[in-house]
């Protein structure tokens, strides 16, 4: 049961984490995954990040572009669009408000972890 809950949390926050990862500038798939792995344990398994990137690009939150001359083989680079940046700002605001409330609730319950 706890695993299901953790999985839902992971799914719910992965999109925001991906948008945060590409917010400083364009990155390609493995670069995004390695960055996420450095800071989180959200990527399990690695291959599931690509469908999310495809969907975010299709929905207009990211641009995706194949670039052939910046590595030993062509790589697909992702970059935030203006609508992606707006979505990320909204997500960060909502997330901070949400975690702030849960944090206060935990403190009120004496679970200051």
Partner 1 sequence: MRLSESGESRVRGYLYVFERSLRSFLAPKVATDAVREVESHIRDAVAQTGDVPNELDALERILMRLGPPIKVAQAYSLELVMDEAETTGRLGPVFRSLFQSAATGITAFFGAFGLFAGYASGLACIAIAILKPIFPENVGIWMHHGVPISAGAMFPPPSPGRGWTMTGGYAIVPLFLGIGLMLLVLTHWFARKWIGRLRARRQVMNPMMIR
Residues that bind partner 1 (CB under 8 A): 28-30, 33, 45-48, 50-52, 54-55, 57-60, 62-66, 71-76, 81, 83
Q: How far apart are the first and last CA of the chain?
A: 21
CB of 90 to partner 1, least distance (A): 16
CB of 79 to partner 1, least distance (A): 9
Nearer to partner 1, 16 or 75 (CB): 75
- 56 burial type by CB count under 10 A (0-12 exposed, 13-18 middle, 19+ buried): buried
Nearer to partner 1, 58 or 93 (CB): 58
SS (H, E, C) 13-69: HHHHHHHHHHCCCCEEHHHHHHHHHHHCCCCCCHHHHHHHHHHHHHCCCEEEEEECC
CB of 111 to partner 1, least distance (A): 34
Nearer to partner 1, 58 or 107 (CB): 58
């Amino acid at each position: 049961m706890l695993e299901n809950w953790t999985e839902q949390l992971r799914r719910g926050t992965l999109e925001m984490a991906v948008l945060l990862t590409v917010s400083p500038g364009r990155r390609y798939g493995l670069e995004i995954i390695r960055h996420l792995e450095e800071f989180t344990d959200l990527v399990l398994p690695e291959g599931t990040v690509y469908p999310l990137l495809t969907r975010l690009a299709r929905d207009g939150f990211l641009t995706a572009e194949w670039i052939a001359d910046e590595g030993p083989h062509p790589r697909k680079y992702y970059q935030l669009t203006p609508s992606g940046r707006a979505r990320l700002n909204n997500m960060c605001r909502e997330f901070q408000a949400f975690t702030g409330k849960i944090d206060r609730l935990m403190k009120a319950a004496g679970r200051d972890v």
